[in-house]
């Protein structure tokens, strides 16, 4: 069973594969401002998360998300609703 910590770890691993810099990703990392990804790439990254965690992410659930930690909260919340 996935825990919030394991979900955060997975998100950091998947996000790390997408960025070119050797930035150390943490819960406080700002996904757009710190990683160099543009907003379109971030939205495509959400598709990867949907596949990884077997969920659907409605736009309003991530509209205010800025950091990895906030993204983890949103994804984990949706996983709990799904199960």
Partner 1 sequence: MSLEDKVQKIQESFGALKALGRDPTSLEFDRVTSPTEAELDGKKMILLGTNNYLGLTFDESCVAAAKGAIDQYGTGTTGSRIANGTYGLHKQLEQRVADFYGKRSAMVYSTGYTANLGSIAALAQSGDQLLIDADSHASIYDACRMSDAEVIRFRHNDPDNLAKKLERLQDRPGDKIVVTEGIYSMLGDSAPLKEIVAVKKEYGAYLMVDEAHSLGVMGAKGRGLCEQDDVEADCDFIVGTFSKSIGTVGGFCVSDHPGLDALRSISRPYMFTASLPPAVIAAAQQSFDQIDANPQLRDRLWRNARILFDGLEALGFKLGPEVSPVVAIMLPGKEVAVRFWNALMEAGVYTNIAIPPSTPNALSLLRSSISAAHTRDQIATALDVFAQVGADLDLIPANKADRRRLAEAQGPLRIVTGGNTQAKPVQAPVQEEQRSSAAKG
Residue with Cβ nearer partner 1 (22 or 60): 60
Helix, coil or strand: residue 27? coil
Q: Is the dihedral of CA 11, 26, 76, 10 positive or negative?
A: positive
DSSP-based three-state secondary structure for 30: strand
| Smallest gap from residue 16 Cβ to partner 1 (A) | 19
Answer positive or negative: Cα dihedral of 17, 19, 23, 24: negative
Min dist. Cβ of residue 3 to partner 1 (A): 22
With respect to partner 1, which residue has the nearer C-beta, 5 or 38? 38
Q: Between 50 and 73, name the residue whose CB sits nearer to partner 1.
A: 50
CB of 27 to partner 1, least distance (A): 25
Phi, psi dihedrals of residue 27, rounded to the nearest 5°: -60, -25
Positions in the binding site for partner 1 (CB under 8 A): 38-41, 43-44, 47, 55-60, 82
């Amino acid at each position: 069973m996935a825990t919030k910590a394991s979900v955060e770890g997975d998100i950091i691993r998947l996000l790390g594969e997408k960025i070119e810099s050797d930035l150390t990703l943490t819960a406080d990392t700002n996904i757009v401002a710190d990683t160099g990804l543009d907003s379109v790439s971030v939205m495509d990254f959400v598709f990867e998360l949907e596949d990884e965690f077997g969920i659907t992410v409605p736009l309003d659930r991530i509209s205010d998300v800025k950091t990895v930690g906030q993204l983890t909260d949103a994804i984990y919340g949706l996983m709990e609703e799904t199960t």
